[in-house]
Structure 1
Amino acid sequence: MINNFQSSIEALILDMDGVLWRGNESIGNLKSIFAQIDRIGWKVIFATNNASRTIQQYVDVLLSFGVTAEAWQIINSATAATYYLTNQFPGGGPVYIIGEQGIIEACRQHGFYQSDSGALAVVVGIDRNLTYEKLKTATLLLRSGVPFIGTNPDRTFPTPQGLVPGAGSILAALTAASDVTPIIVGKPEPTMYRIALERLNISPERALVVGDRPETDIAGAQLIGCHTALVLSGVTTADQANAWHPAPDIIADDLKSIIQMNWSK
């Protein structure tokens, strides 16, 4: 059901995993869906908690599904992590990273490099090559007082085979071992949405955030004052969606269902 805000929407802020794709499989015909978005006239920002890929890799993945995007349209939790690190340590320096290419490259571009010697912070995202040695090194740094930065609290990650451990699972292991709670920089914290709104040059009520996780995508958008749409194509069931409070403006099966609603202005 569409509420009475539809005529005010100027842009979409879209999550990726669980909204656009699961693993390497698209959710619907993305080329057709984005052609309809273009016809409606919405601007688009992609905002994902997944920091495993670089911005250019996300551009390439979207293109492989027939969707053309520019680098400025893509924000991930690595963007938020480097925003936080730059504010805290403007001179850059060593950080200990548990994560994949996306977070490592983002840190490098902002003057931070991978090292456990003199690390200014421990920065943790999803790492599908996680080892005990990495957990051990991070734990010892955290117990010595080094700040603990988490890209996002997502406990699971949607794949075609089902839900698998996400960054939040790694954060939980380190919290258990170190007795230190991470500073979360990705959703539901508002940093990524603030960056998106600045790039779009619109106010929060002009944006519709589409996500598959109420506790991150929807909660963060509600905090900053955006309209929200929760899709059931990712990790959330209909019962879970209906139980979430405050309720999202829209609950839909998928992004295509949202685009096919009456958005006449």
Structure 2
Amino acid sequence: MLKDKFPELKGLILDMDGVLWQDNKPIGDLPFIFKGISDLGLRVVFATNNATKSVQEYQQKLASFGVHVEQGQIITSAIAAAKYLQHHYPASSKIYVVGSASLKDIVGQHGFQVCDDAEMNSAQAVLVAMDTSLTYEKIRNASTQIRHGAAFIATNMDATYPTPQGLLPGAGACVAAIATAAEQQPLLIGKPQTPLYELAFQSLGFNPHEIMTIGDRLETDIAGAQKAGCLAGLVLSGVTDEVKAHSWQPQPDLVAKDLTELIYG
């Protein structure tokens, strides 16, 4: 079992895409996996770079697979980005959002005005995430706002995300298009940067060395865990294969085929 290898372990930060599921297909028997986590006495938070869904939507998705959690256990790059905006911009500031309806709702719920395409050059910041309906018009409008002085912020730079049909373009593809047009690079909020990890540490209430981050992506989950000072567990059920895993330096603390193997050994 996991705690036999890491007896100091008290909490887990779990990625979701590529760890718990691929799109709408669970990876393994999730209730069985979480029973094992509970039996080990480990606290869990979920931390994802995916900004396309609300906390409530993730809670419902977990419940549909038989895993029941509190909303406070779920942290997304959208939440981290909205909290960053709260700390750096006055209430009611105008934010131009390239992303899902859920992301726009989250920004609005944190006290900001979400600009529409007609309000050109009025935004204090441009927030970009994965947008499955990205158009030339959105790229033009976002890059124009940035060129006129709006801050450029990205929830994450994941190039792809895993599905049962294979890897599809992720937020990084959308961000790259706007960065190219604006000739600027964004401030990154999600993994591997620290804001999302800091929220997870606060939620768990443990020191970083007592926490393991478990993810499927080396350049975000593993790099972020190593940067934040917590243990790093890699699963090969998402975007990373064994060859890439062995070439990564420094090596993750643990590499497993999937979450079942990681928890149960």
Q: 1:167, 1:103 → 2: CA distance? A: 13
Quickly say closer, same or farther: Cα 1:88–1:115, change in 2 above 3 A. same
Q: 1:29, 1:17 → 2: CA distance? A: 15
Tell me which residue corresponds to 1:231.
Answer: 235
- Mark the runs of 5 or more structure 1 residues left unpaired by the alignment: none
User: Within the alignment, does 1:194 sit opposite 2:192 as a pair?
Assistant: no
Q: CA deviation at 1:4?
A: 8.0
Aligned residue for 1:8, secondary structure, equals coil
CA contact (8 A) 2:215 2:221 kept: yes
CA contact (8 A) 1:10 1:43 kept: yes
Aligned pairs for 1:198-237 (under 5 A) are 198-237=202-241
Q: CA deviation at 1:92?
A: 3.4
CA contact (8 A) 2:31 2:67 kept: yes
Q: 2:64, 2:129 → 1: CA distance? A: 25
Aligned pairs for 1:30-109 (under 5 A) are 30-109=30-109
Between stretches 180-189 and 84-93, larger displacement belongs to 84-93
Cα RMSD (Å) of the superposition?
A: 1.5
Q: 2:251, 2:94 → 1: CA distance? A: 42
User: Within the alignment, does 1:250 sit opposite 2:254 as a pair?
Assistant: yes
- Mark the runs of 5 or more structure 2 residues left unpaired by the alignment: none
User: TM (normalized to structure 1)?
Assistant: 0.95
Q: Deviations over 1:91-142 (max 9, x none)?
A: 2321100001332121111111221532110000011111111111101111
Q: 2:263, 2:5 → 1: CA distance? A: 15
Q: 1:36, 1:191 → 2: CA distance? A: 29
Tell me which residue corresponds to 2:185.
Answer: 181
Structure 1 counterpart of 2:88, which letter? Q
Please identify runs of 4+ aligned residues in structure 1 that moved more than 4 A: 1-5
Aligned residue for 2:103, secondary structure, equals helix
Structure 2 counterpart of 1:259, which letter? I
User: TM (normalized to structure 2)?
Assistant: 0.95
Q: CA deviation at 1:3?
A: 9.7
User: Within the alignment, does 1:172 sit opposite 2:176 as a pair?
Assistant: yes
Quickly say closer, same or farther: Cα 1:30–1:3, change in 2 above 3 A. closer
User: Within the alignment, does 1:13 sit opposite 2:13 as a pair?
Assistant: yes
State the percentage of identical aligned residues: 46
Aligned residue for 2:221, secondary structure, equals helix
Q: Deviations over 1:200-220 (max 9, x none)?
A: 110001101100011001111
Structure 1 counterpart of 2:131, which letter? D
CA contact (8 A) 2:2 2:264 kept: no
Tell me which residue corresponds to 2:22.
Answer: 22
